[in-house]
Amino acid sequence: MRVMLHACCGPCLIEPFDALVSEHDVTVCYANPNIHPLGEYQRRLQTLLDYADSRGIEVLEEPYDMVSWMRAVAGLEEDLSKRCKACFRLRLGMVADRAAALGYDAVATTLTVSPYQDPDSIRDAALAACEAAGIEYLDTDFRERYRDATQRSRELGMYRQNYCGCVLSDIEAQREREARRARRV
Ligand code: SF4
Using CA positions, which residue lies closest to atom 6 of ligand 1? 166
Q: Which atom of ligand 1 is nearest to the CA of 117?
A: 3
| Multiple choice CATH, 2-159, 3.40.50.620, 3.30.590.20, 3.40.50.280, 3.90.1150.10 | 3.40.50.620
State how far the Cα of 71 lies from the Cα of 77, in Å rounded to an integer: 11
Around 40, how many Cα atoms within 13 Å sit in the side-chain half-sphere?
Answer: 18
Handedness of CA 119, 122, 127, 130 (dihedral sign): negative
Number of residues written out for the chain: 185
Distance from Cα 40 to the centre of ligand 1, integer Å: 14
- Give per-residue pLDDT as tens, 53-76: 999 999 999 999 999 999 999 999
Mean pLDDT of the chain: 97
Give dist(CA 31, CA 48) in Å, integer: 12
Residue 102: is its pLDDT beyond 90? yes
- Residue 143 makes CB contacts below 8 A (sequence gap 6+) with 112, 113, 114, 115, 119
Over 90: is that where the pLDDT of 185 sits?
A: no
- Average pLDDT (109-122) is 97
pLDDT given for residue 11 in this prediction: 98
- Is the Cβ atom of 121 under 6 angstroms away from ligand 1? no
| pLDDT of the residue at 164 | 97
The contacts of residue 67 (CB under 8 Å, 6+ apart) are none
For the residues 28-36, what does the mean pLDDT come to? 98
The alpha carbon dihedral of 140, 143, 144, 145 has a sign of: positive
Instruction: At 69, give phi and psi (nearest 5°).
Output: -70, -45
Cβ of 169 less than 6 Å from ligand 1 = yes
Residue 159's pLDDT is 98
Atom 2 (ligand 1) nearest CA = 164
Task: Calculate mean pLDDT across residues 79-96.
Answer: 98
pLDDT tens for each residue of 89-100: 999 999 999 999
Distance 7 CA to ligand 1 centre (A): 14
pLDDT digits (tens, 9 = 90+) for 132-178: 999 999 999 999 999 999 999 999 999 999 999 999 999 999 999 99
AA letter at 131: E
- For the chain, the structural domain boundaries read 2-159
**What whole-number distance in Å separates Cα of residue 111 and Cα of residue 149?**
12
99 CA from centroid of ligand 1 (Å): 23
Residue 38's pLDDT is: 98
